[in-house]
Amino acid sequence: MERSEYGVMYRLEQSYWWFVGKQFLVREQVKPLLLNRGRGARILDIGSGTGIILKTLQEFGQAFGMERSQEAIQFLKKRSLKRIVCSDAEQVLPFKDGSFSLVTCLDVLEHLDHDRALLTEMIRVCKEGGYVLVTVPAFNRLWSPHDSVLHHRRRYTRTRLLGQLSGMKAQVLKASYYNFMLSLPILAVRKLRSLFSEKGKGQSDFFIDLPEGLNRSLSALYKLEILGLRILRYPYGVSLLVLLRKPYRERKDA
């Protein structure tokens, strides 16, 4: 990610519709999983960025963040977040097997050369009966300067991401696209920006200054769609969510 993007994210995370919706998504997905575990659950957030999701996860237990960027870590400190591990997601995770009740990896896999290796590591450090929550950007046809500036390697389809999980000891509880209703407007905006952007230059979508009323409306629409994930599996969307559960090992009778 370009260094300038961290400052933009930190400034917008509490108000911009995309980030507000992402926090709502996390609460919607995590609360039912940890409802019976009280505040004692241990949570790992891989690629914590500037920290708004890690701060959200603290509502559900003892949340640890992992980040390799020193620029991002400075912003994490500004949010008074202290359980931070500086480590590279491309390497073996610096945690013991079965350390966490929940592992989140939100919009990180697309930055890595070896995404399957990180998926394997997340399942390793997750407790038996625990959960892994992953989100990624979807569909290469939505590729734009936004992806280039954020240093994405790829965008995903449901088939591709589930294929990376093949052979791993994890049960897929949910696999759905989301941000479905806004996908066509976002595609149109990105294609127009691609046409008029200078080659080799660009900015993320977060530089688009929205009127307050439009921003609130987009937030409301995004939240409504996320509520639909309780019962629906969207056939298309700007993003893709996968929720995994690590099964208990079969124990032989003594």
Q: What confidence category does residue 5 fall into, taking pLDDT thresholds of 50, 70 and 90?
A: confident
Residue 254 has what pLDDT?
A: 45
Top pLDDT among 253 and 219 is at 219
Residue 54: inside a domain: yes
- What is the 3 state secondary structure string of the chain? CCHHHHHHHHHHCCCCHHHHHHHHHHHHHHHHHHHHHHHHCEEEEECCCCCHHHHHHCCCCEEEEEECCHHHHHHHHHCCCCCEEECCCCCCCCCCCCCEEEEEEECCHHHCCCHHHHHHHHHHHEEEEEEEEEEEEECHHHCCHHHHHCCCCCCECHHHHHHHCCCCCCEEEEEEEECCCCHHHHHHHHHHHHHHCCCCCCCCHHHCCCCHHHHHHHHHHHHHHHHHCCCCCECCCCEEEEEEECCCCCCCCC
Q: What confidence category does residue 201 fall into, taking pLDDT thresholds of 50, 70 and 90?
A: low
Residue 96: inside a domain: yes
Residue 117: inside a domain: yes
Residue 253: inside a domain: no
Cβ contact 189:144 at 8 Å: no
Residue 60: inside a domain: yes
- Report whether pLDDT(2) > 90: no
Mean confidence (pLDDT) of the chain: 89
Residue 26 has what pLDDT?
A: 97
Top pLDDT among 5 and 112 is at 112
Residue 50: inside a domain: yes
Residue 129 belongs to a domain with what CATH number? 3.40.50.150
| 213-250 per-position pLDDT tens digit | 999 999 999 999 999 999 999 999 999 999 999 999 87
Top pLDDT among 178 and 192 is at 178
Full residue range of the structural domain in which residue 129 is found: 3-245
Residue 196: inside a domain: yes
Q: What is the total count of domains within the chain?
A: 1
What number is the average pLDDT over the span 100-128? Answer: 97
| 28-56 per-position pLDDT tens digit | 999 999 876 666 799 999 999 999 999 99
Residue 251: inside a domain: no
Instruction: Give the C-alpha separation, 89 to 121, whole Å.
Output: 9
Residue 4 has what pLDDT?
A: 74
